[in-house]
Amino acid sequence: GSILTIELTTPDGKKIFPYEYLRDNMTGEGLAYWYCDDGYIYNRTSRICTYGYSYEEQKLVSKFLQEKFKIDSSIDHRKTRGDYYIRLKIKETQDFISIIRPYMIESMKYKIGEKKK
């Protein structure tokens, strides 16, 4: 089966990215579900709203995308709120979309820049 969501927190409520578990178990389908929930496309680049994670956890998200799916990403800072998110450049966005497109339902394809049919 696919991995929908795994959310772990520290005793004080900070989110922890379950790197090893997702590295070993996440599928393209699970990645598509995650993106449909927390991702969007902007100027042909994809963003994944990982705001709840610390900068150190963001580095694990980026490492996970590279090691599991061979997708390079960067960590961007949202200055208005002081938190971070994952950004994919145009080429990486195209590669990412090729992984998740087969699992996306029609009504969510706007998140990868496709118009409704």
The residue ranges of every structural domain in the chain are: 8-103
Token pair for 76? 């961007």
Domain 8-103 has CATH 3.10.28.10: yes
Q: Which of 12-16, 19-23, 89-93 has the lowest mean pLDDT?
A: 12-16
* CA–CA separation, 26 and 71 (whole Å): 14
Please write the tens of the pLDDT for every residue from 57-114.
999 999 999 999 999 999 999 889 989 999 999 999 999 999 999 999 999 999 999 8
Contact in structure between 40 and 52 (CB atoms under 8 Å): no
Contact in structure between 7 and 49 (CB atoms under 8 Å): no
Q: What is the reported pLDDT for 2?
A: 42
